[in-house]
Chains A and B, each alone.
Chain A
C-alpha cells in the first residue's frame, strides 16, 4: 500500500475586516512595504479563508482515505514571519507533520512569481504528491500563485476546488468551479489543487490533549536561500506597486427613525421602498 503525500501551503494575513476607513486611508498613504506592514501591525492575524478551507479539506481527505485503509501524509508550510508560528503549532496538533516556516527575507505581498518559486521549492522539499493551496489570498490576491507554482513544478493545476474525494490508485476525485460552471474530474498526482469556495471552510480545533502532544515538536525553519531561491533577484524583475487609493463607495446613509421593528419597517417601507416597489 502506498502513501499519498499532501503538502498544504497557507498564508497568514491581517484581519482586514477589523480595519476602519481611517486605517485604510493610512495604509493607502504608506509609501513603502515596511510602512504598509506597520499600518496593519496592530490587527489580529487570521488564516486566509481559502487557505483555511484547504487545510480542512486535506484533513477530511486524510480521514476519508483512512476509512478505506489508505495512508495519507499531511505536511504544512507558510512563507511568513513569526506571526505564522501559532497557526503552525495548531496544525501540528491536528496531525500535520512536518510543519515548516520559510522566512522570505523581503515583503512578498505583490510578488506572485517570487512567492510561487518559494512555494514550489517547499513542495519539492516536503516531497508532496499533491500541493494544496488556497486559490488566492493576501493583499495582492492575484490568484496566480498556484498556476505559477505548477509551472515551476511542471505539474497540472486545478483551481476553484470545492471538494476532494479519494478514488482508486492514489488519484483524487475533484469538484471544482470552471469558467463554464461546476465540474468534476479525476486528478492524477502529482498536481497542484487550488481551493476556492468550498463549503468546508473552517479548520477544526484540536483538543487540549492533541495540543499537549505536539507541544515539544519543533517547527522547521527555512530561509529562501536555503531552499535555493534568490528572492532579491526575482523581485528585481517583478511588478512594482506604485500607488494605492481608497475606494469611495459611500451612499446617503439616511438613518430610518423608529422605536420598534414594526415602526422601523413601516418608515422604511413608506419613505423609501413603496414607490420603488410599486413601479412596473
Chain B
C-alpha cells in the first residue's frame, strides 16, 4: 500500500486593506478548485497579516481552518517578507499561494529568492505530479496558454486575477495560532516608503456593474472620435470604457480601461467601437452575454471574438445606434 504524502500549503492573506475579502475568496477558490493532487493530501494554513491595531473581524475571511495571525505595521512588505522567510526557515511549507496583485507578486518573489524556491505569477491551475508542480498560465500577452514545470521548493504561486471572481465561503470556524515573532531589527528598519497617502480611487463601479457597455478602441481615430463614442454611449444609457491604446494616448482617463490592465466586466451586451481585439482586452469582456463589434478592419481579431460584426465606421454606426436606442422604450418594469 502506498502511503499518502502531505503537501504543506500556506495561503498568504494581507487583511489590512479593502482587497482582503476579495483575496480571501480567491485563495479559498483556488485551494478548492485550482489545485489538483494525486496521492497527496493538503495540510493548509493561512498566514494572515493585519495591522497592529486591527480588530478580529478580518479573521472570519481566512480561507482555511488553521490561521497564523501576524500583526505588523502597515505598508511594510519588507517586514512581511521577513516574517514569511522566518517561517520557511523553521520548516515552513511546500507551497505558498498569494492572491493576484502587486503585493502578492512582491512577497512571492522575495520569498522564493530568499528560500531558494520558485515563483510563478498568473496561475490558473496547479497539478502536483510526483515531485513536480506543473502550473498553467497565459503567456505571450494572453495569446497562448503555457504549462510550466516549476523548479525547487518552496513553490510560490501568485494567482491569476480570474480567481478574484471565485465564490468560496470561508470555513465555519478557525483555529488561530500564535503570531510570528520577528526580530526587532527587522521591524525597526527604515520603511521603504515615506509619507504614504491613499489617493481617491477612480470610480469603476459603473463598468463592473454595467448591463450595457460601449468600448472605444484605437479605431476611433482621435480624441474627438472617442468623445463622440462616449457621448453616444451616454445617450444609450451605457457604461463607457476604452482599450489600452486609447487610454495610453490620453484620449480617455486611465480608469476607463477595460482588460488585464484595467477593469474586468460582465455586461449583458458589450459593443466595441474601433477595437482591434487584443487578448488582453478580450479578457476584460469575455464574460459578456453578447458582443457586437464595429470596425473597419475585417481581419481584426475582434471579428472572430464577437457574436455580431459590423464592418464600417464605428463612430457613425454607434451614433446611429444611439438614435435608435434613445427612441426605444426602456426595459419593461413588469
Stretch at the interface among B31-39, B114-122, B178-186: B114-122
Whether the Cβ atoms of B193 and A186 lie closer than 8 Å is yes
Q: Say yes or no: is B109 at the interface (Cβ < 8 Å to chain A).
A: yes
Measured in the bound complex, the distance between the Cα atoms of B118 and A26 in whole Å is 29
Give the contacting residue for A144; candidates B121, B151, B307, B316; CB below 8 A: B121
Whether the Cβ atoms of A185 and B196 lie closer than 8 Å is yes
Write the A261-280 contact mask toward B (1 if CB under 8 angstroms, else 0): 11011101101111011111
Contacts of A191 in B (CB 8 A): 192
Nearest B-chain residue to A177, judged by Cβ: B102
Contacts of A208 in B (CB 8 A): none
Contacts of A181 in B (CB 8 A): 18, 198-199, 201
Interface residue total, chain A, C-beta cutoff 8 A: 88
Write the B120-156 contact mask toward A (1 if CB under 8 angstroms, else 0): 1110000000000010001111111111111110000
Within 8 A of A (CB), among B282-325: 282, 286, 289-292, 294, 299, 301, 303-313, 316-321, 323-325
Nearest B-chain residue to A156, judged by Cβ: B192
Contacts of B257 in A (CB 8 A): 197
Give the contacting residue for B105; candidates A27, A159, A201; CB below 8 A: A159
Measured in the bound complex, the distance between the Cα atoms of B59 and A242 in whole Å is 39
Measured in the bound complex, the distance between the Cα atoms of B108 and A143 in whole Å is 11
Give the contacting residue for A243; candidates B114, B142, B147, B286; CB below 8 A: B147
Q: Say yes or no: is B78 at the interface (Cβ < 8 Å to chain A).
A: yes
Nearest B-chain residue to A158, judged by Cβ: B193
Measured in the bound complex, the distance between the Cα atoms of B77 and A179 in whole Å is 12
Contacts of A27 in B (CB 8 A): 140, 144
Tell whether A244 pairs with B247 under 8 Å between CB atoms, given A157-B106, A238-B118: no
Nearest A-chain residue to B199, judged by Cβ: A182
Tell whether A272 pairs with B19 under 8 Å between CB atoms, given A181-B199, A197-B261: no
Count A-B pairs with CB separation below 8 Å.
277
Nearest B-chain residue to A50, judged by Cβ: B261
Tell whether A268 pairs with B310 under 8 Å between CB atoms, given A143-B121, A144-B105: yes
Give the contacting residue for B109; candidates A21, A147, A244, A265; CB below 8 A: A147
Measured in the bound complex, the distance between the Cα atoms of B106 and A242 in whole Å is 25
Whether the Cβ atoms of A113 and B248 lie closer than 8 Å is no
Tell whether A278 pairs with B150 under 8 Å between CB atoms, given A197-B247, A242-B134: no
Q: Say yes or no: is A22 at the interface (Cβ < 8 Å to chain B).
A: no
Measured in the bound complex, the distance between the Cα atoms of B331 and A93 in whole Å is 59
Q: Say yes or no: is A69 at the interface (Cβ < 8 Å to chain B).
A: no
Of listed B102, B145, B276, residue having the most chain A CB within 10 A: B102
Q: Say yes or no: is A241 at the interface (Cβ < 8 Å to chain B).
A: yes
Q: Min CB distance, A249 to chain B, in Å?
A: 5
Whether the Cβ atoms of A147 and B247 lie closer than 8 Å is no
Q: Min CB distance, A25 to chain B, in Å?
A: 10
Give the contacting residue for B110; candidates A141, A151, A255; CB below 8 A: A151
Q: Say yes or no: is B175 at the interface (Cβ < 8 Å to chain A).
A: no
Q: Say yes or no: is A19 at the interface (Cβ < 8 Å to chain B).
A: yes
Q: Say yes or no: is A32 at the interface (Cβ < 8 Å to chain B).
A: no
Nearest B-chain residue to A13, judged by Cβ: B141
Contacts of A241 in B (CB 8 A): 139, 146-148
Whether the Cβ atoms of B102 and A159 lie closer than 8 Å is yes
Q: Say yes or no: is B224 at the interface (Cβ < 8 Å to chain A).
A: no
Of listed B109, B110, B303, residue having the most chain A CB within 10 A: B109
Q: Min CB distance, A242 to chain B, in Å?
A: 5
Tell whether A242 pairs with B198 under 8 Å between CB atoms, given A250-B304, A251-B291, A272-B308: no
Tell whether A183 pairs with B118 under 8 Å between CB atoms, given A49-B248, A156-B193, A265-B324: no
Q: Min CB distance, A116 to chain B, in Å?
A: 8
Whether the Cβ atoms of A202 and B248 lie closer than 8 Å is yes
Tell whether A278 pairs with B332 under 8 Å between CB atoms, given A151-B113, A242-B147, A245-B145: yes
Q: Say yes or no: is A104 at the interface (Cβ < 8 Å to chain B).
A: no
Whether the Cβ atoms of A276 and B269 lie closer than 8 Å is yes
Whether the Cβ atoms of B120 and A183 lie closer than 8 Å is no
Measured in the bound complex, the distance between the Cα atoms of B140 and A16 in whole Å is 8
Give the contacting residue for B193; candidates A185, A250, A254, A256; CB below 8 A: A185
Tell whether A179 pairs with B254 under 8 Å between CB atoms, given A151-B109, A244-B146, A280-B331: no
Whether the Cβ atoms of A159 and B325 lie closer than 8 Å is no
Tell whether A256 pairs with B310 under 8 Å between CB atoms, given A144-B121, A238-B151: yes
Q: Min CB distance, A55 to chain B, in Å?
A: 14
Residues of B within 8 A of A (CB): 14, 17-19, 23, 75, 78, 99, 101-106, 108-110, 112-114, 118-122, 134, 138-152, 190, 192-202, 212, 244, 247-250, 254, 257, 261-262, 268-269, 276, 278-279, 282, 286, 289-292, 294, 299, 301, 303-313, 316-321, 323-325, 328-334
What are some 29 contacts across the A-B interface (CB < 8 A)?
A20-B299, A24-B140, A28-B144, A141-B139, A141-B141, A143-B121, A148-B112, A151-B109, A175-B199, A178-B17, A179-B103, A183-B197, A184-B199, A197-B262, A242-B134, A246-B143, A249-B305, A251-B305, A256-B308, A256-B310, A261-B316, A261-B319, A264-B320, A268-B321, A269-B328, A274-B328, A276-B268, A276-B269, A278-B329
Residues of A within 8 A of B (CB): 16-17, 19-21, 24, 27-28, 49, 53, 110, 112-113, 135, 139-144, 147-148, 150-152, 156-160, 162, 171, 174-175, 177-188, 191, 196-197, 199, 201-202, 237-247, 249-256, 258, 261-262, 264-266, 268-269, 271-274, 276-280
Interchain residue pairs A-B with the least CB separation, the first 5:
A156-B192, A180-B17, A265-B320, A147-B109, A201-B248
